[in-house]
Chains A and B, each alone.
Chain A
Amino acid sequence: MNKPVRVVHYINQFFAGIGGEAAANAPVTVRHEVVGAARALQAALGGEAEIVGTLICGDNFFHDERERARHAVREALRSLRPDVMVAGPAFEAGRYGIACAEVCRVAAAEGVPAVTAMHPSNPGVMMHGREVMIVPTTASAAGMPQAVPPLARLALKLARREALGTADSEGYLSRGIRRVGYRPEPGYRRAIDMLLTKLNGRPYVSEIPYQAPAMVEPARPVAELRRTSVALVTTGGLVPKGNPDGQTSGNAQRYFRYSIEQLQSLRPGEWEAYHVGYFTHLVNKNPNYVLPLGYMRELEKAGVIGSVHPYAYTLPGVSTPVAQAERLGLGIASQLLEAKVGAGLLVST
């Protein structure tokens, strides 16, 4: 028989039985035994795994003394050398959920696979759901008996470095990762089967889950345009002629930034659209159709705007998944904010 898997379990003061809010400032302690809620996990793990340590921390301490808490967790992992880290379940408890997700991130950075569990609306999911493996639970701790078995099952798989299936089939929340894989039936057959199922009024599951667009609160209006630096951004895939940086023609993996500081207008022959989503010949003849620098320079001279930001940002928007687009958009926005740009014109093809 294999040696039992070594598990370290992170729980908060409440689930350790230390106390409620009054004990929320308790610092991280390491117990070389199975404590509180860890007993339920140990029961679900059975003889295949041994909880070699229970880490306990007050919810307030983890947030108020984040660096100390993370350091203590890191030290405990180094001395206990577990095969897997389990945190929670945190259910709907916000501070606890965030702490569980953070603990999983510390473990991952130490090379220890980790899994936690909480309610899908826990802020821990919103903050770290793309990098941390999270098993969905009910909102209240009444769901403990249902939450622990899938947590234990995943912990064993992670500890043994077994290959995992999709989030749905393994019972954790999707992290938005897409992997290339094979299916026995070709796409056209699956599509027709799905159509027939739909036409017959039977339930079916799309292979491309619908992702509702995130609604963003509108930015406040620009107060003084004549004092504002305005940036130009395009998803039209405009690059210097010859595409020197090897931009892809779709499914953008990154965005590009080009200096336009010395230019009055974008001249044909110096730029080209590298983009498989539209006929680019007109933009190649007049790049200002997707990056209207000529007009912006005129408005800059006339004092209508403060200045044109010296860098233009570009990427090919076509076939870029929403999650990827969001990541790229955040990157561009943070660079613009850093450069004290007050407004942006995004031309989308």
Chain B
Amino acid sequence: MISAIYDLALTTGANRVVRGCRIEHVCGNPDLGPDKDREYGMRIITTALQALTTEVSGPTLFDPQGASTETIHAS
């Protein structure tokens, strides 16, 4: 799931969550200008595909901006 409200997605049990930009433009950012926006959008999508091929044991955040993958343990 790609979501700007990624923390909500994680606490409600989505297992592979990709951090989107903002609610109004989840898969990109118009403020960056067309080229950078495209680049950013592509990074979000490739991060999502990477998430699909990654083994997870519970709700896990995949962040296109940072390289780190964070595991959130839902309470």
Given contacts A216-B13, A218-B15, A345-B2, contact A292 B49 (CB under 8 A): no
A292 touches B41 (CB 8 A): yes
A290 touches B27 (CB 8 A): yes
- A347 at the B interface (CB under 8 A): yes
In the bound complex, residues from chain B placing their C-beta under 8 Å from that of A223 are 53
In the bound complex, residues from chain A placing their C-beta under 8 Å from that of B2 are 345-348
Q: Which of A53-97 contact B (CB under 8 A)?
A: none
In the bound complex, residues from chain B placing their C-beta under 8 Å from that of A220 are 55
Of A278, A286, A296, the contact of B23 (CB 8 Å cutoff): A278
Q: Is the interface of B mostly helix, strand, loop or mixed?
A: loop
How many angstroms from the CA of A298 to the CA of B48 in the assembled complex? Answer: 15
Scoring B4, B23, B30, B58 by chain A CB atoms within 10 A of each residue's CB, the highest score goes to B23
A288 touches B26 (CB 8 A): no
How many angstroms from the CA of A296 to the CA of B49 in the assembled complex? Answer: 10
Q: How many positions in chain B have a CB within 8 Å of any CB in the partner chain?
A: 34
Q: Which of B21-72 contact A (CB under 8 A)?
A: 23-28, 30, 41-42, 44-46, 48-49, 52-58
B28 to nearest A CB, angstroms?
Answer: 5
A236 touches B26 (CB 8 A): yes
- A225 at the B interface (CB under 8 A): yes
Scoring B13, B27, B30, B48 by chain A CB atoms within 10 A of each residue's CB, the highest score goes to B27
B39 to nearest A CB, angstroms?
Answer: 11
How many angstroms from the CA of A345 to the CA of B27 in the assembled complex? Answer: 11
B52 touches A343 (CB 8 A): yes
Q: How many positions in chain A have a CB within 8 Å of any CB in the partner chain?
A: 37
How many contacts between A and B, using CB within 8 angstroms?
94
Given contacts A215-B13, A299-B46, contact A221 B53 (CB under 8 A): yes
Of A230, A236, A286, A349, the contact of B30 (CB 8 Å cutoff): A286
B45 touches A278 (CB 8 A): no
Given contacts A282-B30, A305-B49, contact A218 B42 (CB under 8 A): no
B56 to nearest A CB, angstroms?
Answer: 5
Given contacts A282-B24, A289-B27, A298-B42, contact A213 B12 (CB under 8 A): yes
In the bound complex, residues from chain A placing their C-beta under 8 Å from that of B26 are 236, 289-290, 347-349
B45 touches A289 (CB 8 A): no
A23 to nearest B CB, angstroms?
Answer: 43
B13 touches A349 (CB 8 A): no
A347 to nearest B CB, angstroms?
Answer: 5
A221 touches B24 (CB 8 A): no
How many angstroms from the CA of A214 to the CA of B5 in the assembled complex? Answer: 19
In the bound complex, residues from chain B placing their C-beta under 8 Å from that of A304 are 46, 49
In the bound complex, residues from chain A placing their C-beta under 8 Å from that of B45 are 292, 295-296, 299, 345
Residues of B bordering A, CB below 8 Å: 1-5, 9, 11-13, 15-16, 20, 23-28, 30, 41-42, 44-46, 48-49, 52-58, 74
**What are 7 A-B residue pairs whose CB atoms fall within 8 Å in the complex?**
A215-B74, A225-B53, A282-B24, A283-B24, A292-B41, A295-B27, A345-B2
